[in-house]
Structure 1
Amino acid sequence: MKKKLEGNSYLYITKNNEYMSNKKTIIITGANRGLGLALTEKLAAEGNTIIMVCRDSENARKVFKSLQSAGLSVVIKYADIAIPQQIDTIFESIYNEFKSVDVLINNAAINIDGEKTSLETLSLETIEKTFNTNIIGSMWMSKKALPLLKNAAEGRIINFSSGLGHLTVPRMGPFPAYSISKTAVNSLTHYLAEELKDTNISVVSVDPGWVRTDLGGPNAPLAIEEGIDTPYWLATVEKDKLENGKFYKEKSVITW
């Protein structure tokens, strides 16, 4: 169930499960729109504290104000995750304000390839911008969050990948920089899960499907509520139901 808030925001009313009975602190990048906003609303509605990481914009400020006015526990940190120094700056304050973080959701991403782009026509600027946000940003967010995740009872990193990031299925579109960056996100998940296997932290990738957002476009078959179904489940499911280091879609493990 959802309740309309200011603008295009909604307050999601859901039931808690056993794992989420103790309220969590959750970092979500790209939290002011699309799937990131929907996850913020749904998880905050359950009483969790959401640290919203967003580029400084009028939209981000309006969304944050609306969520605060609804009585939700949200904190906003302004950073362009494509710029590691800005990530460093926000974590200076996060370290001072929070002793631990339970979940990091690396959601923020861009696709600026253009519909008819090939590697032959792709510009270096597009490659750099895409990789700086989609993979370097996620790597640096993960690095900076690790000390806080290790302080949690059960830390968790959820990396947003894409169907375009698969290695074992045909590419679904001519988006070379975006596709390769999402394959790199899956590599990050695989690597981190192995590095952290003897710790309290689980790491997974998720393909939310083709969703009607600013990134997915108006022709996508899935509504936002459908797109957050598996990411929400991954953030809230009990640890013994989660396979560490795997790629998920529709709440099931899929091939890389």
Structure 2
Amino acid sequence: MPDQQRVALVTGANRGLGREIARQLAARRIHVVLTARNHAAAEEAAAEIRGDGLAVSSTRLDVTDPGSITAAIAELRRLDILVNNAGVTDGDHRAATIPASEVRRVLEVNLLGAWRCASAAIPLMRDQRYGRIVNVSSRLASLSTMTSGTEPAYRVSKAALNALTRVLAADVAGAGVLVNSCSPGWVRTELGGPNAPTTVEEGAATPVWLATLPDGGPTGQFFAGHTPAPW
């Protein structure tokens, strides 16, 4: 890839929303490193996107495996954009009865995985005085609408991801790095299910917008569409 070309890394990008985010970023002439826990799955998705003449490569990255994160980042000469898209849900569990092991599983991916990736990416971004970090969150994380006991680990993990967005943005203030979180909406993916009203193309639009913000753009905020959403 040309040294001046922007480079983006997208986690959980072998299918659904992550793959569409990767495709839309690549369509903007950004070189996208598409990642997944299984390298073969990541490469299959990357090959499909390359079939459209877009610049995409692939590598293995499991957000629960610090070694795989270190290895994936070490392959890169530069990293301009990180999209923390990888996520899991606890489905039909209820807050009062969910096993602690299930809570840990969800937090490990949705919160700690994103935190590990950001921590690995930020040194490169600081060095080049440019970076965009997008944490894919959810409206279910909004404290103003948290009136249901369903999907408790998912809700809490995404609320914590929003808090991480705030503290990371404060930590890198003045370094040219913008950190934001967003809700893509209820998207028709394997996670969202077939009844979701939002297409993957529509759901990817906000993460892609935040990933390509101009200098001086917003940071430390939570968005739904282009509009700040309540924490």
Normalized against structure 2, the TM-score is what?
0.92
Separation (CA, whole Å) in 2 of partners of 1:45 and 1:197: 29
Separation (CA, whole Å) in 2 of partners of 1:153 and 1:198: 9
Match status 1:122 vs 2:98: yes
Instruction: Answer yes or no: is the 8 Å Cα contact 2:95–2:149 preserved in 1.
Output: no
Name the counterpart of 1:247. 222
Change (3 A) 1:154 1:58: closer
Separation (CA, whole Å) in 2 of partners of 1:26 and 1:93: 13
Aligned residues: 228
Match status 1:93 vs 2:75: yes
Give 1:49 deviation, angstroms: 0.4
Change (3 A) 1:134 1:59: same
Name the counterpart of 1:167. 143
Q: Give me the CA root mean square deviation.
A: 1.7
Give 1:171 deviation, angstroms: 4.0
Normalized against structure 1, the TM-score is what?
0.83
106, 109, 117: which is aligned to 2:87? 109
- Deviation string 1:79-105 (CA, Å, 9 cap, x unpaired) is 2111222212222323xxx1x211111
- Deviation string 1:151-172 (CA, Å, 9 cap, x unpaired) is 3352111111101111122346
Name the counterpart of 1:218. 194
Where does 1:125-164 land on structure 2 (aligned, <5 Å)?
Answer: 125-164=101-140
Percent identity over paired residues: 35
1:151 is paired with a residue whose SS is helix
Separation (CA, whole Å) in 2 of partners of 1:229 and 1:238: 16
Name the counterpart of 1:196. 172
Structure 2 unmatched ranges of 5 or more: none
2:9 is paired with a residue whose SS is strand
Give 1:77 deviation, angstroms: 1.4
